[in-house]
Chain A
Amino acid sequence: MTQTFSIIAVTLVCLTTVAVGGLGLRLSRRTSDFYVAGRTVSPRLNASAISGEYLSAASFLGVAGLIYDEGVDLLWLPVGYTVGYLVLLVMVAAPMRRSGAYTLPDFAEARLGSIGIRRLAALLVVAIGWLYLVPQFQGAGLALQLVTGAPQWVGALIVAVVVALAVGAGGMRSITFVQAVQYWIKLTALAVPAFVLLALWMRSGSATPEVPVSWAEPFVAVSGDDHPVYRSASMMVALCLGTMGLPHVLVRYYTNPDGVAARRTTVTVVALLGAFYLLPPVYAALGRVHLPSLPTGVRSDTIVLQLPGQVVEGIGGDVLTAMLAGGAFAALLSTASGLAMSVTGVLHQEFIRPRLARLTGGDAMGFGGFRVAAAVAVIIPFGLSRWMEPIGIATTVGFAFSLAAATFAPLLMLGVWWRRLSRAGAAAGFIVGAVAATAAATATVVAAPLSGWAGALLANPAAWCTPLAFSVAVVVSLATPGSVPRDTTRVMVRLHTPERIHLDHSRLID
């Protein structure tokens, strides 16, 4: 019975995604009223959309699994996922919006006026997008395996195909309303079973879980050489600074009409995410109560999906499991579509269209290049997800965040706040950060399992990669004052001047 319900839920979610993708524009509001132009997207709606796109399989399944595995240390994880937006709010949200950039490469070009750095940023967007897509595919495999028993690659393939279709059809562009609804679907799908499980737990006598000390106490190493404090700190650095480098999140800021709206949106996002992230620890703790040990071969990432079946007998458990499976797929699909869309856009704009245009003499305005880009954007991370199978969902997401923190954080923060950033400095910091973070991630995957300091440093590279990239960018910038863009002052004034001040006339208007 569980299978039937779950398959129905998952199919429903997939079909809806493809349908929305196919319908495209028709779903955006249709009206013949006058004064629609005044109705820009409100910060609240946009915040729901950002949250809907941001909450991925890692949040839906991975966080609970990690807390279940590792204990209270990992309670930092949901905090980190949320607090990244606080950094975004304080440091970049409004200036980024005022720069007029749509994507991260756009910002690099607007600030530094260099096509070379634009290309570098585009490469990094593709890399981060792919790295973030991998765990979505893995999550799909896990979820489908658990509820239907299909091998892992089937779920990944289904998500890959659905996303490729949705993006290639030209849909799922950035329909704010659809993504906003996704957030509330995900919240409901996770909250309702959580409250049912909590109620049952309280009625059955509120048993405390039997856990080892390393689970219940913060920063107690499982083995002697584990460095839990460093791991947690590095993870926090990655999440705090990596959020601003996620390509599918930043493009949504363009929808805000001005910098003030961008800040309001971010505040609402923090609230919405805060509410959502209260739930995964509930699953982790209840998991410790009801499933003290997992059968061999079952990954802790699936704890959320297993719990209802353990606790609730009969059809009730089936319905709750189906709800969670559907929610997980919704999370996967919305994040994966957003990412695939960003990656496809960058691939098409930066790498495929210029070449096509050269081949066909500038006449290739058709949709073919875009579909090729969509296929490439999905196939490569699908391949990677097969290769990186043994690594947990949240760990892969951690690499994506580390890479973003080591590359885009220096570029954005120095770009927004430091006038002496030079082109050479930005490029050097960017390359050093990218190489260091990629090398660490590759080493962890290839040489797993490593232990001791080497393992800790390579598995959580953000704490050393990010300062390294920052200092390289600063030192090289100071050494090459000649390559500071000439219009830096003008750009900085535009980034930091509130919209209500008219630059032309330098007077306040209301």
Chain B
Amino acid sequence: MASSLHWPTAVVVLAAVLLVGLLRWVAGRGRRRGFLSTVDRVTYQTLHTASLASRHLSDGLTPDAADKAGRHLLSILGARAVAICDGAGLLGWTGPGEHHGPDAHAHASATRLSGTLTVLGSDVLTCSDPDCPIRSAVIAPLLAEGKVVGTLTAYAPAASAGLARATGELARWVSAELDVAELGRTRTRAMEAELRALRAQISPHFIFNSLGAIASFVRTDPERARELLLEFADFTRYALREGGAFTTLAEELRNVERYLVLEQARFGERLQVSLLIAPEVLPVRVPYLAVQPLVENAVRHGLATKEGIGHVTITASDQGSETEISIEDDGVGTSPELVQRILDGQSRADSVGLGNVDARLRQVYGDEFGLVVETAVGAGTRVSFRVPKYAPGVHAD
């Protein structure tokens, strides 16, 4: 049966079938995009152009943004040329009549001062070129947080009421986009500030207790005191370092070990630590200071308030394309509602960076990679999170 198959024919037929299928698919896509009426199409086009323009505005008012967004704004307005200025000068001119560019900033001076829409006629806009379409201008203010940060000018042969209203509305929309862009930048800055805050947040208790413990060894065991001081120095250097937001799990765990050495100097035999680390996951990149705050939390809240011996178990296991890291203590535990409030950011009471670690994990890897906290009063606490072995844009420095 197989040998009777005529190969060239089979290949040609197969190729033809594939081609027809492809064409039908492409045609189908085109049809689905079709619109019913002219109004539909115009609405769609306007919204589409606006969305294209908004993409360029996400960096705020820059010459590059003015250049790229200007094209789309021009096509929405139907004017002949569009100029975008900020407080200092012209950012971008789109359309013909570019020889008016140097004057655009001066045209907008009234609007900049008053914050209202101005219309300039051919008495102000003179031109030696009889074919130049720049005869009148509508200038609308661009506001950010209520202050004038720039102007949007539409140039046309004659300024109509329609153009004036359209320009005013468009300027208001651009202002909203600029606000959104500013909001995004603020959020990034807040995240960075929070990370810096977490870095500086080596708790005063810890410094005080560590130095106290070291002091107690200075006479009885100077060698140990020296070692502990060196550990303390290394710990602070890591926790206060400048540089990238990511590190390897090996580095992070090394720092956790330093921290635990210092805590054990204070707690002695009361603090029992076991580490179950799969060696395969040590090169995995994790957010810097993602593990140590959780361990500190386990020691402080799980054990410090408890009588007798406390155990802390740190586990890092290989889960294929992900790594799971968990910190478990058999301390006093806490109520799930309180943990929920801390993770929601409603209560910052006394938790060393739990909410912060959670927020940073979610920001970097997405919402499904947040902290998982299992706890109950008197039942100990287990905090765990997963980290993908590869995530775009995550590199250790």
Contact = CB atoms under 8 A, between A and B. Distances in A.
Contact of B257 (A34, A102, A254, A446): A34
A40 B390 contact: no
Contacts of B274: 31-32
Given A25-B278, A38-B250, A345-B321, A254 B283 contact: yes
Interface in A152-189: 170, 173-176
Interface string B233-260: 0000000000110001111011011001
A99 to B, nearest CB: 9
Nearest to A115: B392
B263 to A, nearest CB: 12
A255 B283 contact: yes
Interface stretch (A69-77, A105-113, A415-423, A459-467): A105-113
B128 interface: no
A383 B277 CA distance: 39
B50 interface: no
Nearest to A261: B283
Nearest to B386: A365
Interface string A425-460: 000000000000000000100111000000000000
A255 B284 CA distance: 9
A28 B278 contact: yes
Interface string B46-64: 0000000000000000000
B276 A30 contact: yes
Nearest to B264: A34
B318 A34 contact: no
Given A31-B276, A32-B273, A103 B2 contact: no
B261 interface: yes
B319 A35 contact: no
B305 interface: no
Nearest to A40: B282
A439 to B, nearest CB: 8
B395 A100 contact: yes
B254 A362 contact: no
Given A28-B278, A32-B273, A503-B397, A110 B250 contact: no
A37 B282 contact: yes
B213 interface: no
Contacts of B248: 257
B320 to A, nearest CB: 5
B283 A256 contact: yes
A1 B90 CA distance: 94
Residue among A100, A173, A174, A504 with the highest chain B CB neighbour number at 10 A: A100
A247 to B, nearest CB: 12
B32 to A, nearest CB: 20
Contacts of A190: none
A446 B5 contact: yes
A39 B282 CA distance: 8
A101 interface: yes
Contact of B367 (A29, A106, A362): A362
A494 interface: yes
A175 B278 CA distance: 8
Nearest to A167: B320
B149 interface: no
A477 B260 CA distance: 53
Contact of A38 (B3, B254, B397): B254
Contacts of B129: none
A25 B5 contact: no
A472 interface: no
Nearest to A107: B390
Nearest to B246: A100
Contacts of B5: 446-447
B394 interface: yes
A499 B2 CA distance: 56
A36 interface: yes
Contact of B390 (A30, A39, A110, A365): A110
Interface string A14-47: 0000000000010011111111111111000000
A104 to B, nearest CB: 11
Interface size range of chain A in the complex: 35 or more
B86 to A, nearest CB: 26
B28 interface: no
A36 B392 contact: no
Contacts of A113: 392
Contacts of A362: 367-368
A101 B320 contact: no
Contact of A110 (B3, B279, B392): B392
B279 A174 contact: no
Contacts of A147: none
Residue among B5, B279, B317, B397 with the highest chain A CB neighbour number at 10 A: B279
Contacts of B394: 100
A446 B321 contact: no
Nearest to B251: A37
Contacts of A448: 2
B273 A35 contact: no
A77 to B, nearest CB: 27
Contacts of A103: 321, 390
A357 B367 CA distance: 12
Contact of B254 (A37, A256, A345, A446): A37
Contacts of A109: 392
A37 B392 contact: no
A15 to B, nearest CB: 23
A16 to B, nearest CB: 20
Interface string A357-382: 10000100100000000000000000
Interface string A468-488: 000000000000000000000
B300 interface: no
A366 B2 CA distance: 46
A256 B282 CA distance: 9
Given A40-B250, A446-B2, A176 B276 contact: no
A341 interface: yes
B320 A345 contact: yes
Interface in B367-397: 367-368, 389-390, 392, 394-397
B264 to A, nearest CB: 9
Contacts of B285: 100
A349 interface: yes
B279 A41 contact: yes
B7 interface: yes
Contacts of B253: 36-37
Please give me the 8 A-B residue pairs with the lowest Cβ-Cβ distance, nearest first.
Answer: A37-B253, A32-B274, A102-B389, A106-B390, A102-B390, A28-B278, A37-B254, A40-B282
Given A33-B275, A34-B260, A36-B275, 6 more contacts: A28-B279, A29-B279, A100-B396, A254-B283, A362-B367, A365-B368
23 contacts: A25-B276, A25-B317, A28-B276, A29-B278, A30-B276, A31-B275, A36-B275, A37-B254, A37-B277, A40-B283, A103-B390, A173-B318, A173-B320, A174-B280, A174-B320, A254-B283, A257-B248, A257-B282, A258-B283, A345-B321, A357-B368, A447-B5, A494-B395
